[in-house]
Amino acid sequence: MLALAQKPDGSWGQSMLAIPSVRSTGFEGVGTINAVRRLLEYGWGAESPPLVRARRLLFRLLAEDDDPAYLFDFAKARGDEDLARRGRGILREAAAAALAQAGYEGDPRLRGAARRIIDRIADYLRSPLAQKPWVRVGNKQVLAGEAAPPSMYALSMLAYMPLFRTEHHEALDRLYRHLTQPMPRQESMQLCGSKIVPQPHLVLGDLLPHRNAVDADVPAALHWLELMARLGFLRRNENWTKLFDRFLDDRDREGVWHPHKGTATPRSSSPFVWPSFPLEESAEGDDRWTDVTFRLGLIARLSGRSIEPV
C-alpha cells in the first residue's frame, strides 16, 4: 500500500517529513523521506523500484537545491532567506539519514554532505558557545542563531555510516559527551534571523535519563537505545545499559516482551519514531508485543550481545 501510493515523480506528495495523522487509515499524508525509511524498515532493498524513483529527489535535497519548489514542508519560508536556509538544512540532514539507511555510505555525494554536517556539529561542540548556547530575546531564553547542536536526523545518518564514524572518532567522542549531558529546562527554540522558531529535531542532551522517560514513551525509548547502539554509545553508558536490561527483564519465558505496567499497546507521538514503529499491522493478542520484542533483539545484536533463539 505504501509503495503504490508513490507519485510518478518519486515523491509521496508535497511533504518530506510529514507522518499520517492518528485518524488516517493507511499511509495518507506521509512525507517522502518517512515513506522511504519505512520501506527500508520493512525490508525493501535500495534497488527496488519505489526507492530508485525516490533516490533522485533525495540526492537533490542533499545538495540543498535553492529552487523554492524544493522547500516542501518549509514552503512558507519562501521570501525569507534565513528561514529558507533553515528549511533546506533540515531537509538535507533528513535526506542524508534516509540515504545512509539505504546503504549509500560510499557515495561521494553523501560523504561530502556528511562531512559538512559533522564538521558543523564538531565546530559547535568544541566552541565556548556549546557551554552557553542561550540568549535572551524578550522574556525568553532561546538558542543563539549560531548554535548548531546535533539533530535527530544527523544522529540517524551517522548511525548508518560506520566507516565514516571511524574517520571522525574525535568528533564522535565530543558528540557522546554532548548526548550524555542533562537536558536543559528551556524549550528547543532558536533565533533564526529576526524570528524565534521551534527546533524539535535538535538534541540538546540525554533524551533517556531515567525510568520515567522510558515509561512515558516506550517506542521513543527504544528508538533512542537503537540509535545509541548503532553509534556504539550504548555499551559506554551505564544508565542506558541498565534501562535496556530492564526491558529484557520484562520478557516472559518465551522471550516475548510485555509491558512493565498495564496491557496497553505501546504508542508514540514522536514523528522520529514513526518510520520504524509499529511495523506489525495487528494490534491484538500477542501480536501487540511483536515490535518491541523485535527491537530488543535488534538492539542486543547491535550492542554485541549474543542472541539465543527460543
Closest CA to 56 of 42, 70, 44: 70
Q: What is the mean pLDDT of the chain?
A: 94
Q: CA–CA separation, 41 vs 33, rounded Å? A: 12
194-204 average pLDDT score: 96
- What residues contact residue 174 under an 8 Å CB cut-off, 6+ apart? 122, 125, 126
Residue 206, pLDDT score: 98
Strand partners, 137: 140
Q: CA–CA separation, 155 vs 216, rounded Å? A: 22
Residue 59, pLDDT score: 97
Q: Exposed, middle or buried, 210 (CB in 10 Å: 0-12/13-18/19+)?
A: exposed
Residue 188, pLDDT score: 94
Q: Where are the alpha helices (DSSP H) in the chain?
A: 32-42, 49-62, 81-101, 108-125, 152-159, 162-167, 169-179, 211-216, 218-231, 238-249, 290-302
242-260 average pLDDT score: 93
Residue 310, pLDDT score: 66
For residue 68, pLDDT over 70 is answered with yes
Q: CA–CA separation, 147 vs 125, rounded Å? A: 9
For residue 24, pLDDT over 80 is answered with no
Residue 192, pLDDT score: 95
Q: CA–CA separation, 86 vs 7, rounded Å? A: 26
Closest CA to 264 of 283, 238, 236: 283
- What residues contact residue 299 under an 8 Å CB cut-off, 6+ apart? 222, 225, 226, 229, 234, 244
25-49 average pLDDT score: 95
Residue 25: all three cell numbers together: 487509515
Q: CA–CA separation, 50 vs 57, rounded Å? A: 12
Pair 280, 290: CB distance under 8 Å: yes
Pair 293, 217: CB distance under 8 Å: no
Residue 308, pLDDT score: 75
252-270 average pLDDT score: 88
For residue 69, pLDDT over 70 is answered with yes
Closest CA to 101 of 18, 36, 52: 36
Residue 283, pLDDT score: 75
For the chain, what's the residue count?
Answer: 310
Closest CA to 217 of 180, 271, 181, 255: 271
